[in-house]
Amino acid sequence: MGPVAIKLCFVQGLPCVRARVTSWGRAITSHHGAETGAIDTAEFRHTLGHFVTGVTVVSYAPADGSEFRGTTVNSFTSVSLEPPLVLVSLSKTSRSSAAIKPGVPYAVNVLHHGQRDLAMHFAGRPKPETRVDWEVRAGVPHLAEAGAFFRCVARDVHDAGDHVLVVGLVEEFQAHGHPPLLFYRGTFEHLRDAAAEPDADREFYFDFPELW
């Protein structure tokens, strides 16, 4: 990012901060107390995309007993170790947000780099040749051969703008060590195979309280 000029200003008596990129990038003005319409949501989403994430599928069994369902989600994060809590952010327009209420079990499946087709399938762009293999644990559907999974029970659901935040208590988890599927700036990426590099040649950081 280029040099940024920042100055204090006032809009209708309210303080704001104006940041102007002086050589390259995008200029953004943020107003204190401004409504959502004050920013370009497309540009906001584009900028959020610079934070690389993994890709998950949140899966569950509908209450009506119909076929298993899932939705592709990259807004997934750890919350607590004791008790073990994780969080996913679900669009209010999705079937998953309507189905997953406090007390409802579900799974978070972490996709590996060979499961891009499943990411697309559960994002609403299925292809006829995509095969979905399910495993059921304690009544909860999981994607077979995912890189990792967390079987959860929804503990709290919080309203958050056009999404809901589901905090789940983890009851079972497992990881298989496959290189992850990544999402960065609107496209799927993959990581080099970490297993190809001996542990002795890498540095591990387990002592930072906010890095898991």
Q: What pLDDT, on a 0 to 100 scale, did the predictor assign at position 45? A: 87
Determine if the peptide bond prior to 126 is cis (ω within 30°). Answer: no
Give pLDDT tens digits for 160-169.
Answer: 999 999 999 9
pTM of structure:
0.77
Q: DSSP secondary-structure letter at 180?
A: B
- Quote the mean pLDDT of the chain: 82
Which residues does 208 contact at the CB level (< 8 Å), separation at least 6? none
Q: What pLDDT, on a 0 to 100 scale, did the predictor assign at position 27? A: 54
Q: Is the dihedral of CA 67, 108, 71, 115 positive or negative?
A: negative
Q: What pLDDT, on a 0 to 100 scale, did the predictor assign at position 20? A: 42
**CA distance linking residue 81 with residue 206, whole number of Å:** 13
Q: Which run of H or E residues covers position 45? A: helix 41-48
**Is the per-residue pLDDT at 16 higher than 70?**
no
Rg (CA), the chain: 20
Which residues does 104 contact at the CB level (< 8 Å), separation at least 6? 60, 153, 154
Tell me if 106 sits within 8 A of 58, measured CB to CB.
yes
In the predicted model, what is the mean pLDDT of residues 167-173? 97
Give pLDDT tens digits for 175-197.
Answer: 998 899 999 888 888 876 655 55
Q: What pLDDT, on a 0 to 100 scale, did the predictor assign at position 24? A: 45
For residue 63, count other CB atoms closer than 10 A to its CB: 9
In the predicted model, what is the mean pLDDT of residues 97-114? 96
